[in-house]
Structures are given as structure tokens and as C-alpha cells.
Chains A and B, each alone.
Chain A
Amino acid sequence: MTDDKDVLRDVWFGRIPTCFTLYQDEITEREAEPYYLLLPRVSYLTLVTDKVKKHFQKVMRQEDISEMWFEYEGTPLKWHYPIGLLFDLLASSSALPWNIIVHFKSFPEKDLLHCPSKDAIEAHFMSCIKEADALKHKSQVINEMQKKDHKQLWMGLQNDRFDQFWAINRKLMEYPAEENGFRYIPFRIYQTTTERPFIQKLFRPVAVDGQLQTLGDLLREVCPSAVAPEDGEKKNQVMIHGIEPMLETPLQWLSEHLSYPDNFLHISVIPQPTD
């Protein structure tokens, strides 16, 4: 029997083969070769693309280089979204590898946040974890941790060290024995079809009658358009980490096993491919 622990590993070690190509209008001294890389799904673009930056900087003049940003099929890629989420949301139906265009000019100020250094990523990551724990445990767990534990979470992510990260993160996934789950489930639902960046509401893992809430219950309540009516045709895919969990899956279990390292369940709702 496969253990639930294996899910954590599979989630952590999820990789997206990616081909980075320099934007055609960038000025280069010689031709820029595409750069191929396996990107960790659970990490952030600006955290894992040092090699990409180095690769393309070699062929460019120093004065043409400003902050690097990425784009896929015309959409600027938000570095503060986990990579897996960006891929699921924007590119899951396209062929692999994932073709990302690399820009060094015309930073899209209205679409993207600046990422001056790794500290910005760390700050964003830690604030997500804290927000998630506020929802799960009224911040009690994260506040009881020491500074070095916080650091270990971040270093675990940065260095892609599963053990290091989970040695601490497991404490964030615990809940009192007398409860049936967290206080609220930290989740965000993303849709490409709407202007709104994402849906986030308070949602408890256990209903008033004691029944465990499922993924379906969540979607029906906060994003009814995502689920097909009983007899209707399935119009959307509900995707987490590149898979489509059944709507019967208990939300608490999902939160414990399929959350990103920031402790949020990032759920993509994308139109069903036509083929």
C-alpha cells in the first residue's frame, strides 16, 4: 500500500521541463542559445533561474541588462506565484517542454512585482506561511517556532531539501486530536477567465454536522462556476500540482498533502481542453 508520505515526496519533487528563450527584440552580441532546465514545481521562478540569467547575460552587453522577467504566450509570469501554479494555470494543455520567453527590458510594471533580491522572495514566502497558519491555528504554531525554524523552512525550499523543510513543516500540518482538522483551510482558487487574481475565503474543513468537507463542497460554495452541474458537461479542469483530484477528496487531506510549501492549496480552474 502506498503511504501518504509518498504524496509529499511526489509533490515536492515535481519538476517541469522548461525551455528558456531570449526575447527576440533583446539586443545580443551573438546568438543566444535556448536554455533547458528542470524547474521545481513548488519553488519560485526568480529563486531558481540564476543559471538562466547567467546564460543569457553572457551574450548581452552589460548596459542592456536590467531586471529579468519572464513571459509565456504574451502573459508576464508572476514570480510570487509558485511555478507549478503558473504552469497549471497557463500552460498545462500545451506540449512540453514549457517555452518561457526571457526579457531584460520593458518591465511590465502594472503586471509584475519587482524582485530586487532573494530577500523579497523570502519575505513573500514567509508572509504566506504566516497567513496560512493564522487560518489554520490562529498563528499559534508559527509563533511558537524559533527564528531558526523559520529559517529552516526557507532554506529547505531554497536548497530543495525535502527533509529539512518537512522536519519543520510537519508541525504546521498538525492539529489538535479533538478537532477533525484545521480551523480554516488556506486555499486560493485561480481562474484565467476572470480579472480577479484569485478567490480566497474562510472555509472550515469540517461541516457543522461533523461531515468532512470535500474539494467539491469548497468549489460549490466559493466558485460554483468551476463545477459542472449534475448532468452537465464538464467544462473546467480543477488542477493542483498538475493533477485533478476527485471532487470527493476531503479538503483537510488535500491541505495536509497537496499544499505548496507556503502552506496554501493553490487550485487552478482552467477550461477543459477541447480535444
Chain B
Amino acid sequence: MPTSVLWAVDLFGRVYTLSTAGQYWELCRDTQLEFKRVSAATQCCWGIACDNQVYLYMCASDVSIRCREEAYENQRWNPMGGFCEKLLPSDRWAWSDVSGLQHRPLDGVALPSPHWEWESDWYVDENFGGEPTEKGGWTYAIDFPATYTRDKKWNSCVRRRKWIRYRRYKSRDAWAKIPSKDDVKDLPDPFNDLSVGGWEITEEPVGRLSVWAVSLQGKVWYREDVSHPNPEGSSWSLVDTPGEAVQISCGPHDLLWVTLWEGQALVREGINRNNPKGSSWSVVEPPGSENGIMHVSAGVSVVWAVTKDRKVWFRRGVNSHNPGGTSWIEMVGEMTMVNVGLNDQVWGIGAEERAVYFRQGVTPSELSGKTWKAIVAGRESDRSHTGSSSSLLSAGCFFGDEVKGNSESAPSDTDTTSEAERSGPEHSAPQEPLDSSRDHKDNSALGPETEGTAECILENTCPDVEGKEAAQASVTSEHPNLASAPAELPWTNIDLKEPRKVPSHSAAGFAETVGLSSLGLFPLGLDEPFGADDHPLWAWVSGGGCAVEAGSALKWFTVQSGLSPSVQTLSLSISPAQTAAWRKQIFQQLTERTKRELENFRHYEQAVEQSVWVKTGTLQWWCDWKPHKWVDVRVALEQFTGHDGARDSILFVYYIVHEEKKYFHVFLNEVTVLVPVLNEAKHSFALYTAERTRQRWPVRLAAATEQDMNDWLALLSLSCCESRKIHGRPSPQAIWSVTCKGDIFVSEPSSDLEAQDHLLPCDQMFWRQMGGHLRMVEANSRGVVWGIGYDHTAWVYTGGYGGGCFQGLASSTSNIYTQSDVKSICIYENQRWNPVTGYTSRGLPTDRYMWSDATGLQECTKASTKPPSLQWTWVSDWYVDFSVPGGTDQEGWQYASDFPASYHGYKTMKDFVRRRCWARKCKLVTNGPWLEVAPIALGDVSIIPESPESTDGDGRSHNIALWAVSDKGDVLCRLGVSELNPVGSSWLHIGTDQPFASVSIGACYQVWAVARDGSAFYRGSVSPSQPAGDCWYHIPSPPKQRLVQVSVGQTSVYALDENGNLWYRAGVTPSYPQGSSWEHVSNNVRKVSVGPLDQVWVIANKVQGTHGLSRGTVCRRTGVQPREPKGQGWDYGIGGGWDHISIRANATRASRNVSQEQKVPGPVSC
């Protein structure tokens, strides 16, 4: 589970974060400001500080926020001077934007705010539609505006070129004031509340956020254009409301709720992808007429509220179609506020003791959860505030400001008052009855006086002071009201202080009576009352960036001490327990004991003779001949031990066909791979031998339950490994692969796998499964292995083995962690146009299903479509996917003249059919030897291939080059990766002019990459001392082909295009590493992996076998030699259903004479 943080503000305005993996509140790094509100998203947090200004805290990331500024230089040809800046009077500006309408001189382009900086100076864009331009980036046309071409023709009268400059957002990990350059007249009055959300409404632009705010005058404002590349947004715009708003809450999706001063709630309707601001309001009445709503918080499909009597309410029946829900349900507990975060998890702040509570048991099926549980995490920074008078003083200022801004009375003694107040109750604690009467009196005095500014006080950090009845509520609520609160709160001075303190702050203006009396007692040692065991008092909490999975274990609820052996350390550095002296000693002594007691006595007879052990059971077996169905079979696994201690096993399968008893058997030492084949109905697995791999005809067996299947799979796998004497973690040279189901397999390369002659056929390779779920995996020969999940999460291999269905003996004790993955299932809604009713779901009889899969051949309705297997569970509802290739219209439709055809995102006269894609996310939770590399999601990764000889000697300590492409297309270089620290330390962002798709680094630091537009790039001057290189060289793609993947070995460079063609880069030499041309090698290729010996392995698209076609087969290029790097043919291995392979770790050379032969200089010697 990725770690994320919960944001909270304490009563003194200090902002803290609490990590889902941590146990301590950490003080926000930027401590200069005090805040009254924070509202968090995953990547940032918005807040309102005590100066009533809005601030934005962008969390630091290794990838910078870059924004491209463009300007066009336009020129016209004239007979005298050729092309020059002198344009016709009717022409555009000499320097303009892309349309030519706007004047845009380079020095006139300014940074939007002080939080930006220029990355470099202006430069000319030489890339024109994926092709490099000739000279200086000029493109030519007959006239403006027109179509521009790369080539200058006789009639090219005008030309233009694009200038590019990047600006970078620099205020990361700091509170950046949102500039208010709006017109003073429209400028909102000071803000009172703020909420961010809406990131699930649409994925375009990337990182779009809805930022809503409420001003002190009760107006609602929306921040325009907030997105990842423009984190600050552009301006505030007013959204009319039918009443005075006091508080606002925006859910992650399309829910927006507002509380009104009168106690009702407003619900925004019509929020959708095209209109994130929504269209109209509807009113929701509070649960009871006497107690209005004080606070609301919206999630994806829940709304929680707090009424003025501090009761907590859950709104039933809330969803996108009915954002107002149906009815209120009262919940246990009294809170001052509640906040709904990610996954509809809920946090609240207890009305009385001001603790942060977490709602336990919130699951998609039980959104209201079960109980409130107090978060007792300590503050790491307890010391820092206890002795810091400055922060106390400024906290006083904060509350002083509140009063000043609204009542125009600026009592100069507010500082002392609030300070005195804070210590006051501590010392007057024993006078408990007196205290409560005082509170009561204070608050009743407050009532009439502050009528006019009540909204401000209501929105003060202490919404307790709500007038008389509220005060009474707080006073009379001495008995604990919270179901999960400790039943017996020890009524000591510390605990007493807390409920007292709350009202005293809000009543800061006139608390002199107590303030003065306690002033005399003002302690010199201020540390005492705020000792380490003092509970923090919280004012605000925001879980909008906090991803807590339902049912995950958090360490927030216990004060932890000591070292637990099973604590998941999130760093890959070996944990102390692993290196502890006691463990080493046990290993060492056991070895010595075995030596002492066994070494000289091996000739002794064993007391217990090894016997045959048989495990039997019943399974189902897919009968491949008539009747072609699953038949019940009895199976028996016989294990026997030879005299050398080696184990071997035979699997017998007894079946009855046509009332005839038959059986067949499989020697497990001949089994090459066991592949789980899970679908929605069956727990089955496929068993391959070399022969069955060649025939594409596995033995398929199914078990009745998942547990049963896992037991058999684990046992058979263990038996296979034992018969081949494979145990423990894979070697650093291992070959890794991934199936289309996300299962991970690893194979130990034998020394003759890459031999020149007598090479091991790759259908004889033995594959064993590793726990976990990945889309791709990449390895290098020093044991560094990285993987990427379907949800683009990056994972690093921990050195363990097993996990997943391999528990117990088949799994390592340590280094196995929980792993989750999310993928989308897509179905299509198809419609045909008819002249009467337009597009309807009534198709022609010959048409495809109106709800179908992508091919149209299979009927898939929303109701009938299930997650891929029982391991997966739905985690979202069906939604329209707008990001399909080809584009869509505003409702997600794609049009075509007929099925099946190529679709486009707009309607023309000729389009008689349309379709749209509905997607639904599902999630799998498993475990395996993988740890997440947070926080950047990746699209591709490549680790430098190294031959073993290059790592000899002092080479072992040098860093391992690792390059990646983020899911957004940023190119990244990982720093600090080594054998001991395979996770590395940080990302170095490498600027590109466009999003990239694939990257690969060769053994000699040749970095090649492919952009999303299909063009290739070579990165110059990459070396250990200059890990990021210097600049990109644009390499033209093969004619009319868009490249999708590149792989670089020792010297060979291979690329793959979108039509499955494999290309070899010819003419690569040390002095000209870019090479000269692409040479076609093969078609029918889906993935390519080039290794440190320049061996070429691919996943072939379709391979014909005895029993049908299989898609996704591991293949090795045969005949690859230094003088013939393109090889001659293909050798087919395991498949189908394979999706990815990495042979980049296998630098095992065959034998001496072969390796000598390989030293003959190839096209490149480095």
C-alpha cells in the first residue's frame, strides 16, 4: 500500500501530517504560518492561513512541474533579402502565438507568479510532427495561415518556427501564497473555508482539481483552471448561492455540499466532466429543525454532517445521480467536524477532548463504518513547540486577528489572554464546578454581543461557541459520549484541561476573569503543562490525501515501543533484526553443529528410512478430446527420495472416459512451468512440459476451491523445484517474465542457454512463479529487479521468494509484503443511427451486441460483466472512459460509418454507428517479494545490463544506472541504485519536449528512448559521472512507422513499432552511437528484450502449435553473432499468454571458446 498522509491543524494553527505508515504527527516543514483550514489532495494541500490568505502546499516530487511556453517567429520571403522579418501589413505579428492573432515577443512572456522559475532560455523546436526539421526549425507554407511543411518549395512564401521555453514551479514543500491579482472590486473578502476535490471527475488535464472557497460574507468561489501543470489556478470566480454559505466540502468526484448560515445544506447539481462547476443548487434540510447543520463533508458516495448540537449524521443514498441523498441517519459520537477522505474513509475531531478520530470499518459495502477510534499517535515535534514561545505568541496573534478582523476591536492583551488561558485551566483544574459555571457564563455573555459576527466565530477553529445552547451542550457533556472513547477517562488535571481550553480560546476577547487570576500563576517552566504525554488538541483534519484501504492495519492507535520483528520496514536496507548478532550466531552454530555431529559419521545408517509419500485428492481435468469438457479425476502425487537425498515425484491422473478407467502420469522433473489460470468460474492451472510447450497443449487441472488449488500448486511447484534442486531466491542472472494475467515467473539460465551451438532449446527452460502482480519486470545481473504494476505503481524486488499462493515452505520468511494492483475492465455500448429516432440501442440483426467487448463478438453488459477472477473485486462503479484512442465527443461517443471500423471522436454525415467505452476499476490484493517505490507512477523502466566481468573488483560498489518513463511521459533517471540498495535514492528528472513512452539503457550507457508520437531519441553523453547525459538527439523512425518500444543490449539497438515490426539499428559505432538506419528484422513481435550478450528475446504475437494458435509466446532469436547481430531465426519457448520478458540479467557466457569468439570486435567495441 502506498504511504500517504493525513493532514491536521491543531488549536494553535500548526499544521501536522500523519503518515499511513507512521506513528507520529510530523510538524509541517514550513512553520512560519499558522492555519485555520487545510484541505488536502494526494499531491498537494490547500489552506487558509491566519492572514486570511489562501496558500498552496505542493508536496515535493522528483518530477518537476514544467509548463511549456511557446512563441512563433513568422517570416515572409521577399525578392530582395530572402526570408526576413518584414511582413505585409495584413500579416500576423512577427512574433506571435500559434494562431498568429496575439503578439507574443519572447521577452514579453512573463512568469505567472513568483513561485515559478525559468528552466532555460528560449530555444527553437526542431521536432516537427515526430520528424527532425532541416535547419533551424523552419517550416514553410504558401501563406499564413496555412499548412506548413518541412521542406522549402518554390512557392514557399512564408515560413515560421516555434520557440520553446519551459518554466518550472519552484515552491515545493512550502506554503506558497496564491497570488490575488484579481481586480480589487471582485476580490473575494477574506476566506472562511476552503475545500479541494473533484480529481476523479476527469483525467484531462492531468491533476485537475476543484478548489472551492467560502468567504466571510457567505459567498462561494471557485478557482479556475487548477491542474497539475497549473497548480495555482488562474482566478477566483463567484458562484451564486441562494443563501449565506459558511462551510463547503467538495468530494473527490462530483459531490459538492455547502452549509448555510441558517442550518440547511446546499447540494450542487450538474457537476460533470464538462462542467466541473455544476449548474444549480438544491437544498437539503437538516435532520432536525432545532439543530441546523454546522458542518458537512462529502466523499465519493457518502456525505457526513455535524449539526449544531455536535451530533454526527450520515446521509443515506448519496450518489452521482442523486447528490442530495435520501435521509439522515444519526451516528454515535459527538464531533466538532468530520472529514471524508479517500476511499470514503472518515475522520473526525471529538467535540470534547479534541482528539482526531478515525472511523473504523468503513468499507464499500458498509460506508457508515463501525466505530470511532481515537488516533493516539504522538507528535515527533512535541519538544519543538513546548519551549517555543514564538509559536505560542503567534498562535495568540492568530486568534487576535480573528477578533480584529470582524469586531474592529483590537484588544492588545489578546496575546496574554490566550496564553494565560492556555495555562489557566491547568492550574484551576481542581475547581471543576467553578470552571464549568464560568464557561457557561462566558458563553451566555457571548451570545448577544457577537450576533453580527457569529458566522466568523462559528467558523473559528472552535465552532463550539455557538451561543448558549451549544455552550451548555459542551458543559453538560462531561460524561463521555463517544462509544469508542475510553470508558473511564481519568479526570486528572491534564484531561480536565482539554474541554476547558476549547471554549476559552473562542472567547478570547473577554476571558479576563480567569485569565487574570491565572496570570499570577503563569509558570516559568512552560514545558511542564505541555509535556510529552500531553495530548494534542486538534482543530481541523483533512483526509483528502490519505489513502487508507478498508481493513488495512494502521499504527495510529497504539503507542508503540520496541522493535517488532514483523514490522514492515519501508526501506529495503536490511533491517537490524536480519543482521542481529543473535541471528548470525544461530546460523553459524547450526552450521558448526551439523559439521561436528555429521561430518565424520556420514557412513552411519539413517535411523528412519526414506519412504514414498503420496498425496492424493480430487481435481477436475480438461479432457482435450471428446467429450471436450472438465471431468472429475483422482490425482496422486508420489514423492520419493533417492539415495543421494534428491527428491523426485510423479503426478498420476486417474480418469474415467466412456466408463473406462484410464490414467496418465507426469514426471515432475520434466515439468517446465505451472501456470495458474484463474477466471471467474474456475480455479485452474496449466501444466507444461517441454513437449507440451511445443504443442501449445498443456495439462489443465482445476480445483474446487481457491485454497485447494493453491495447496496443489504450491506442492507441485515445490516438488518441481526440489527435483531440479532449485531453492531460495533466484540468482542475479535469472530471466524474469510476466504473463497477461500479471503472474510473475522466473527462470534460472543454464550456461548453454546462450551457447553458439548445442544451445538449450528455450522450450526446456524451467519457470517458477514468484508472488505478486506486475505488468512488466526488468532485471540486471547484479540482482536489481524492478517491476511495474497495471496501475503503474513501481515495485522493487526485495530478495525474497514465494508469496502469493506459495505460503509456508515455498515462501521466504522475510521480504514478503502486501502488494495490490488496480486495472480497468472495459465494455462497449454500441448504437446505430436510424432516421426516425436517431441513435438508439436497436441495432440491425446482423449487428454486434449492443453491449459488447471491444471486438463486438462477446456480449458484455454492465450487470453480467464480472471481475477477471475471484481474486479481483470491483472498486468503482462503471464510468465512461473518455481517454480511448481516437478521441470522443462530450458524452464519450466515438463514431464510425459501420461496425467494425475505425472510430473518431466527432460525428459526421456518414456515421451510422457509434460506441462508447465504459470502464470499471477492479483491484487485487496479494503478496510477494516486492516493495513499492513511491510516489511516482511509471510507464517503463530499464536497468543497465552488465556482464559479470565488469562487476569484478572495485566495480561492485558503483551505482547501477536505471532509467524510467513516468506514466505522464516524463523521463527519469534513478540515482543511488546499487546491489545493497536496489531501490535507489531519488529520481532525476530529464526534460523532454514531449511525453515519452519507452526507454532503454545499454551496457555502455547508450540511452535510447521512444516518444509517444513514435519518434526515437538518443541521449548523448550519459556516463557514470554524468548519469543524466546532456541532450536528446532526434532519430527518425522507420518510414511510416511509429515506434513503441526500444531495447539496447551491449551494442545492439532494437526497436518495435506499433504494427509489430522489429527493427535493428544499423551503423551504430562508438563514434556515431546514433547509427544510420533501421533494418527490418521480423514482424509478429509484441515486446523485445536485448541482453548484455546482445542476445535478442521477444514476446511473439501469434505462434501456431499443434493445438491451435497461442498469443504471447517467449521466443529467442537464433544465430545472433557479433558479425550477424540480427540473427537468423526464432526458437519458440513458453506461451501463450506471456506478456513481457527481461533477459537483461543473463550475462552467463556459454563456454570458454565461445566467449573467445565473442571477443572478436563487433560493430561497436566499447
Contact = CB atoms under 8 A, between A and B. Distances in A.
B598 A245 contact: no
Contacts of B611: 159
A36 interface: yes
Given A159-B608, A248-B582, A17 B564 contact: no
A38 B808 CA distance: 28
Contacts of A250: 565, 582
Given A10-B590, A37-B605, A246-B585, A96 B596 contact: yes
Contacts of A3: 728, 812-814
Nearest to B800: A3
B290 to A, nearest CB: 43
A248 B577 CA distance: 11
A245 B582 contact: yes
B489 interface: no
Interface string B571-615: 000100010111101110111111011101100111110110100
A21 to B, nearest CB: 15
A152 B764 CA distance: 35
B593 A242 contact: yes
Contacts of A211: 561-562
A38 B582 CA distance: 29
Contacts of B807: 170
A164 B589 CA distance: 26
Interface of A: 1-7, 10-11, 13-17, 36-40, 43, 48-49, 51, 96-97, 158-161, 163-164, 166-167, 170, 177-178, 180, 206-207, 209-212, 241-246, 248-250, 252-253, 257-258
A38 B604 contact: yes
Contact of B587 (A7, A96, A159): A7
Given A37-B607, A212-B562, A245-B585, A4 B814 contact: yes
28 contacts: A4-B814, A6-B587, A7-B587, A10-B591, A10-B594, A14-B593, A17-B600, A38-B598, A96-B597, A96-B601, A97-B604, A158-B608, A160-B608, A160-B610, A163-B718, A163-B809, A164-B613, A166-B808, A177-B553, A180-B566, A210-B560, A210-B561, A242-B593, A243-B593, A245-B586, A246-B585, A249-B582, A253-B565
Interface of B: 553, 560-566, 574, 578, 580-583, 585-587, 589-594, 596-598, 600-601, 604-608, 610-611, 613, 715, 718, 728, 799, 807-809, 812-814
Contact of B581 (A13, A39, A51, A248): A248
B931 to A, nearest CB: 16
B1112 to A, nearest CB: 33
A5 B809 contact: yes
A266 B548 CA distance: 43
A70 B563 CA distance: 46
Given A4-B813, A252-B565, A17 B598 contact: yes
Contacts of A5: 809, 812-813
Given A40-B608, A97-B601, A159-B611, 12 more contacts: A13-B594, A37-B606, A38-B604, A49-B607, A51-B605, A96-B596, A97-B604, A180-B565, A210-B561, A242-B593, A245-B586, A252-B565
A5 B806 CA distance: 14
A209 B608 CA distance: 46
A182 to B, nearest CB: 13
Contact of B574 (A1, A6, A177, A212): A1
A207 B604 CA distance: 46
Contacts of B600: 17, 96
A2 B814 CA distance: 11
Contacts of B604: 17, 36-38, 97
B563 A212 contact: yes
Given A48-B607, A167-B808, A210-B561, A17 B718 contact: no
Which 8 A-B residue pairs are closest in the complex by CB-CB distance? Answer: A17-B601, A243-B589, A48-B607, A211-B562, A4-B813, A160-B608, A249-B582, A246-B582
Given A4-B814, A7-B590, A40-B607, A17 B582 contact: no
Contacts of B560: 210
A14 B596 contact: no
Nearest to A212: B562
A212 B565 contact: yes
Contacts of A39: 607
A243 to B, nearest CB: 4
A128 to B, nearest CB: 19
A206 B561 CA distance: 11
Contacts of A166: 808-809
Contacts of A207: 562
Contacts of A257: 586
Contacts of B593: 10, 14, 241-243
A252 B583 CA distance: 13
Contacts of A1: 574, 578, 799
A17 B601 CA distance: 6
